[in-house]
Chain A
Amino acid sequence: MTRRLWLVAEAFAVALVAALLALLIWRVVHGNGGSVSGALAAGKHPAAPSFDLTRLDGKGRIDLASVRGRKPVVLDFWASWCVPCIQESRRLQRAHEQYGDSVAFIGVDTKDYSPDARSWLRKHGITYPSVHDGSGSVLNRWEGQTLLPSIFFVNRKGDVVGRLQVEEDLQRYLRQISES
């Protein structure tokens, strides 16, 4: 009986180690491949992962699923501690003034302290709505890592068509999604 118990315990321990090893291998192999950024790099145009986050201005929440399919979306991941985000958000603000009727601009304030983020929005004159992603889980799903600023373009169908990499991408993608 004791020997049988030992065998069961040994089998359990071996199975546990094998499962942990498999999990580690899966994590290493997949890495950031599960993110939107990874899919775009592989030449795919995945459906925009939805999120439902609180607005920084206190006017309720924004559920991306409710916007998807009705309007193209520009998603701007930013934080008040991110210095390059200032210039990108100002450029997006100008684009918002130009395309705001046909394209929804949404800021996602990431890993940030929301009172500081509100001051930052006021200071830089950003008027398109922003939501708060304090833990960075939404950024992780889209970008796969903490990389700010990160700007994604979603067409009217709800597919992510691209990610801003160079300055010229902004106008190119805006034209593309506003005509979608």
Chain B
Amino acid sequence: MKRFLFVAVLALVLAPAAAACNTHPTLAAMEGQIMCPVCGTTLDQSDSPAARQIERVIARRIAAGDSDCQIKDRLAAQYGEAILAAPPRKGFGLLAWWLPIGGIALVGALLAVGAWRWSRRAPAEEVAVDPSQNGRGALDPALERRVDEELARFDG
């Protein structure tokens, strides 16, 4: 349980750092973060004219000194949010980042509570077992008498 809390707190602490803008982006890095609007893949996996056009735009904006956030904002304004390979870390997009973490935390908590309750359950009372019965119930008296007679005859 403590380990889960540690991971959750660590994620909270690291989230703003991950969301920080890169002031010196490279075209190669950005190609994996931007979608080709006509092929459903990121730019680095597409060779379509639309993808090439966006790469030229990115290269021009990098040369003009834009950060990756500025370039993404510009492209999102032109093509819509769907142009970003990952949802933005703000507004409604935050939900996509936090929902999986919340889901994992919830499942972890449920498992932890379940394990705790299971470990605290009182052990069931042991039933006294007669070894001669070999785990079965008592024999019918008529059958037992018959077995005894057969054994006596065998011994005799």
Residue positions of A touching B, CB distance < 8 A: 79-83, 111-114, 116, 134-137, 146
Q: How many angstroms from the CA of A14 to the CA of B84 in the assembled complex?
A: 33
Tell me the smallest distance from the CB of A136 to a CB of chain B, in Å.
7
List chain B positions with a Cβ less than 8 A from chain A: 37-38, 48-50, 52-54, 57, 77-80, 82
> Beyond A111-B37, A146-B38, is A81–B50 a contact (Cβ under 8 Å)?
yes
Please tell me if the beta carbons of A135 and B50 are within 8 angstroms of each other in the complex.
Answer: no
Whether the pair B53, A80 counts as a contact (CB closer than 8 A) is yes
Complex Cα–Cα for A174 and B129 (A): 98
The B interface is mostly helix, strand or loop, or mixed, namely: helix
In the bound assembly, the distance between CA atoms of A79 and B50 in angstroms comes to 9
How many whole Å from B24's CB to the nearest CB in chain A?
23
State A82–B37 Cα separation when bound (angstroms).
13
> 12 other contacts beyond A112-B78, A114-B78, with CB at 8 A cut-off?
A80-B53, A81-B49, A81-B53, A83-B49, A111-B37, A111-B79, A112-B50, A134-B78, A134-B79, A135-B79, A135-B82, A137-B80
- The number of A-B residue pairs with CB atoms under 8 Å apart is 35
CB distance from A133 to the nearest CB of B (A): 10
The 3 closest A-B pairs by CB, nearest first: A135-B80, A81-B49, A111-B37
Distance from A16 Cβ to chain B, minimum over Cβ atoms (Å): 15
List chain A residues, Cβ under 8 A from B77.
134
Question: Bound state CA distance, A135 and B80, in angstroms?
Answer: 5
Task: Report B-chain residues with C-beta under 8 Å of the C-beta of A114.
Answer: 78
Chain A residue at smallest Cβ distance from B80:
A135
